[in-house]
Amino acid sequence: MKKLRKLLSIACSLSLLTGMAAGMSGCSSGSQEGSGDSGSSGASDTAKKSDDVISLASIADTLGAGWNYGNTMEANSGGTPDETVWGNPAVSQEMMNAVAGAGFKTVRVPVSYLDRIDDANGYKVDEEWLSRVEEVVGYAYNAGLNVIINVHGDGYNSIYGGWLLCNGSDQDYIKEKYAALWKQIAERFSDYDEHLIFESMNEEFDGEYHDPVREYYENINAYNQIFVDTVRAAGGDNTHRWLMMPGWNTDINYTVGDYGFEMPEDNDNTAGEGRMILSVHCYDPWDYCGEEGKKTFLWGKKGEEIVEVNKASPKWCASWGKEDHIEGQMKKLKDNFVDKGIPVIIGEYGCIDKTDANAGIPNQIAENRVYYDAFLAGTAAKNGITPVYWDNGYNGQYGFGLFNRNTVEQTQPEIIEGIVKAVADKNPEAGLDIKVKRYTSSSSKRTSGNMYIGIQTKVYTFRNACNDGTYGVNSDYFNTLIKWEDTDGDGSDDITDAGAVFTDAEVKEDGTYTVGVSGYDFSADSEGLNMLFVSTDFEYSTALRVYDVKLICDGTEIPVDRPVVSEDSDGNLYIELVNIYNTEAPDIEYTMPKDSFEITMTLEGVKNVIK
């Protein structure tokens, strides 16, 4: 999975990185040997060879709903591919059977080669690794699945050992190595029928999120042409095999728009009709689909209904990328490719699990996720496009997993039901009425919340908000008044402890609360504040009233007229007294104290957010 703009763009970075982190934290490792019915390397001869022809007219229906066996065969450590190193168990026949049994018709198996290619030996691929790839393909065939394999992480600038780089300095070497790799893959699978699809590469771009660079795009086009020519020349079923290739970062806009993408020529295809497929990915909108740091956990008209019924904040809904955007993206692909005889596969899509984003409505958040995944899948199918869901094997917060790969049980049966039905019926709204009742709201169990003072002086002596990723409540620095100063005279600032003490407040009921910081001479440090605020770890609500806010400097009380009371990026209560970066913050006359800042306020309606 990857990042699309936007951040998902840190897309492979993110897909890989987020995916990798997710995979490593979620599952226990399995045996490298793999398990299942097939003890041989690959499928049986009867399974891998049939007279069935996947025609241009039938391909979308034949491929149906797809699923990614992600974060496994493309996983690596230090440039060495290893299918269990990111925490997932080895690929198994049982898991392939479960995927087929759930209603999916196609499995995409991302594969990395990296240092399994011996540059000093004619780019020879490690025989054991190539045999393992064939064994995995055999599992898919045995389960009756169509299967896509590609060259995955070799094209990442962010991966140690990545070499298939469109911005690489030695393109002659890259192209020679790429041709040698695909020659070996194609020859190994020359007698596998059309139910095996080759995908040239994955999210190929220069690793920077900007408009495509024409020179680099020309290299991507050249790689795709080398791929087609090499596979066709390998003979056997490769002469009429379906081949799949992406544009810049598999981005829809950069492929459809006038940025330089060219489909390769396929002069040696013996099928009598087109056998090339366009590969794209879609994680729009990224703040809903993949971004963990932003509290956007509702989408589209289903999300708007949840807001209305549950009195949730509209800020929790994605502000872009709604139904009309998804429909527009699919229409672009249909008009520019499908209608011109070039099938399209969305090789990756999906949205991460944010059911924990609001403790009061986890089932509704899960239902919204069902709706999104089914809507994209159904809209794709309606336009003759094949959708392949990205599953990184990780279940839980921010995971993409639909199955527990250790037990091969479904963990998200509602999403699976929605996707399979949406594709089969070509119905974008197939997931609209699917209910989820597996989560227990924890809002009723919460008995208290916390309030924290936050401060930043003009010389950057500070304490950040409690949810800050670097200096927040879970960091080693949160209970330290940090001062930046050059303590060793090397010209760079170091973090030092200013020696102050923080007083925070636990909130359980209506009442007056005080937070503060004391034990430091702020007047000697700075002439003023950049920021002074109160952050919290409990939900903002218009039903929670904040009033009678006062600032106390060295015991001197200073009323605060109209502090900014709002919700932060996580939807929690946030109160600003001073913020030189926010013109809406109040203008307070104060003198920097020699010992302490305190903020006191009265809360009313606490029972609406803490029970």
Would you please indicate which residues are annotated as catalytic (active-site) residues?
A: 203, 348
Picking from 227, 119, 229, 221, the residue whose alpha carbon sits closest to that of residue 182 is 227
Query: CA–CA distance from 264 to each of 85, 220, 253 (Å)?
Result: 35, 10, 19
Apex 274 CA angle, 271 and 280, nearest 5? 135
SS3 label, residue 182: helix
Structure tokens given for 132 = 């393992």
CA dist., res. 265 & res. 271, Å (int): 14
Cβ atoms of 249 and 6 within 8 Å: the answer is: no
CA dist., res. 354 & res. 293, Å (int): 11
Structure tokens given for 603 = 């809360």
Q: What single-letter amino acid sits at 410? A: Q
- Nearby residues of 509 by Cβ (< 8 Å), 6 or more positions away: 606, 607, 610
CA dist., res. 610 & res. 444, Å (int): 8
| Main-chain dihedrals φ then ψ at residue 288, nearest 5 degrees | -90, -40
Strands 572-579 vs 596-604: parallel, antiparallel or unpaired: unpaired
Rg (C-alpha) for the chain, rounded Å, is 28
- Nearby residues of 237 by Cβ (< 8 Å), 6 or more positions away: 49, 189, 190, 191, 192, 193, 194
- Nearby residues of 166 by Cβ (< 8 Å), 6 or more positions away: 155, 204, 205, 206, 216, 217, 219, 220, 223
User: Can you give 469-484 as a three-state secondary structure string?
Assistant: CCCCCCCCCCCCCEEE
Query: CA–CA distance from 13 to each of 292, 311, 364, 396, 532 (Å)?
Result: 14, 36, 30, 20, 35
CA dist., res. 262 & res. 496, Å (int): 56
Structure tokens given for 264 = 């390769």
CA dist., res. 53 & res. 15, Å (int): 34
Q: How far is CA 293 from the centre of its chain?
A: 11
Classify burial at 555, counting beta carbons within 10 Å of its beta carbon; exposed 0-12, middle 13-18, buried 19 or more.
Answer: exposed
Torsion of CA 192, 195, 196, 198, to 10 degrees: 130
